[in-house]
Each structure stands twice: as structure tokens, then as C-alpha cells.
């Protein structure tokens, strides 16, 4: 039986860095961003429902989703974001459960499945996991990273943060916290400690 770990963190927290390090140690990573792309690929029911809900203008000429145009509609508008999430979240959950079943069929020994999900707090689905790991940094560090690494304007970066759960809301859900406000060497050490704890919990099940 797999140990199901929810890995979350706000935009710019470095959650993907943590995910890569856990994968290198043997975790099976099921990435919600990958799932989100798959369920709205051209020809999928998910894409058809988005086009129906938001209009054909959210499709590119080749029929694929125009993510920038859709993002401009939903970010900063809670009602529109909720409408999008109501379409995509059930489809993403279904895709991810299928991925876990596939991993379990080929597993040898203790299976640690890490669900890499930015919106655990927002979705209210933290009870889906055996434990939740939060990658934590101060909001000002998130803004700095979004500006320096992704080229966002500061106001745009702050708007992205405001559209997500607060730092306090995420930490309230955490069983384990990984502080990623320091160096990559610090991060390696924190991830190693968390991985040892995950292995201990998996072997004790």
C-alpha cells in the first residue's frame, strides 16, 4: 500500500526543486501540472468544456488551449477561477489516481507516491493524502523569485500570490515543512531529512 504524500507550496516557493530531489531518491512523482496539461489537450472533453465556458477565444488557431489568454481571464477574478477549477479539478484528480494505480502495479517494496500539487489548500482536498509536505518561503522571497526568474512585474507577481492560499493557510495543513529560503545546499539537507521520515512512515504501514 502506497504512502500518499501531498507536496505543496506557493508559486515561486521552489516546489519543483523539491519534487526533483524526491524523485532522485526514489519517490514516484505525480505532477498536477502535467495532469492539468493532459486533461485539456486538443481533442479532450476537458478542452471542449473550457471553450464552452469561456468562449472560443481561449483556443489558439491550431485548436490548443491559449493558456495566456485564459490566465488573463481567471487570475484576479475569483468567480472565473472557480469556474475553471470546477471543470479541471475533477479531471485532474481522475488522471492522477490512474497514474498512482499504474505505479502500484510495477512497485517493488515500499511505494512513496508524491502528489506535486500547488493548490492543496485551495482545493480543500488535503485529506486525500496520508500527510502533507509544505515547501515554505516568505512572500517577499516569492515575489523576488517571480520577478528575477520569470520576468514578472512586481504587481503581477503579487497578484499571483493573492490568487493562492496564504502562507498561513498552507502551513496550517503541514505535517512536514521544508524551508526553501536558503541555499540549494540547505534545501538538499532539508529534503534528505524529509525523505528519511517518509521512508520511516512507509515502512511502518
Residue 153: partners with Cβ closer than 8 Å, 6 or more residues away = 147
Q: How many Cα neighbours within 13 Å face the side chain of 109? A: 6
Residue span of the structural domain in which 156 resides: 3-203
Confidence of residue 123 (pLDDT cuts 50, 70, 90): confident
In degrees, rounded to 5, the angle at the alpha carbon of residue 196 between the alpha carbons of residues 194 and 202 is: 100
Judge whether residue 107 has pLDDT over 80.
no
Are 112 and 24 in contact, with CB atoms under 8 Å apart?
no
What is the mean pLDDT of the segment spanning 98-106?
Answer: 90
Number of domains in the chain: 1
Are 11 and 145 in contact, with CB atoms under 8 Å apart?
no
Q: Output the domain CATH number for residue 151.
A: 3.40.50.300
Q: What pLDDT digit, counting tens, does each position of 125-152 carry?
A: 888 899 999 999 999 999 999 999 999 9
* DSSP SS3 for 101: helix
The Cα–Cα gap between 98 and 21 comes to 23
Q: What pLDDT digit, counting tens, does each position of 10-26 carry?
A: 999 999 999 999 999 99
Confidence of residue 71 (pLDDT cuts 50, 70, 90): very high
Q: What pLDDT digit, counting tens, does each position of 151-193 carry?
A: 999 999 998 899 899 999 999 999 999 999 999 999 999 999 9
Are 8 and 121 in contact, with CB atoms under 8 Å apart?
yes
**92: nearest Cα among 147, 36, 146:** 36
Amino acid at each position: 500500500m502506497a504512502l500518499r504524500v501531498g507536496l505543496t507550496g506557493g508559486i515561486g516557493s521552489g516546489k519543483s526543486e523539491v519534487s526533483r530531489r524526491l524523485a532522485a531518491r526514489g519517490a514516484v512523482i505525480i505532477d498536477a501540472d502535467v495532469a492539468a496539461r493532459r486533461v485539456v489537450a486538443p481533442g479532450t472533453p476537458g478542452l471542449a468544456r473550457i471553450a464552452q465556458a469561456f468562449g472560443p477565444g481561449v483556443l489558439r488557431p491550431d485548436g490548443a488551449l491559449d493558456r495566456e489568454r485564459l490566465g488573463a481571464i481567471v487570475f484576479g477574478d475569483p468567480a472565473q477561477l472557480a469556474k475553471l477549477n470546477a471543470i479541471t479539478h475533477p479531471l485532474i484528480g481522475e488522471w492522477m489516481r490512474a497514474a498512482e494505480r499504474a505505479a502500484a502495479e510495477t512497485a517493488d517494496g515500499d511505494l512513496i507516491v508524491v502528489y506535486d500539487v500547488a493548490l492543496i489548500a485551495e482545493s480543500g482536498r488535503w485529506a486525500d493524502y496520508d500527510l502533507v509536505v509544505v515547501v515554505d518561503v516568505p512572500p517577499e522571497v516569492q515575489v523576488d523569485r517571480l520577478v528575477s526568474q520569470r520576468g514578472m512585474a512586481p504587481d503581477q507577481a503579487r497578484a499571483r500570490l493573492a490568487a493562492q492560499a496564504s502562507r498561513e493557510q498552507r502551513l496550517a495543513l503541514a505535517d512536514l515543512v521544508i524551508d526553501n529560503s536558503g541555499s540549494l545546499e540547505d534545501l538538499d539537507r532539508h529534503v534528505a531529512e524529509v525523505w528519511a521520515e517518509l521512508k520511516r512512515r512507509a515502512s511502518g504501514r
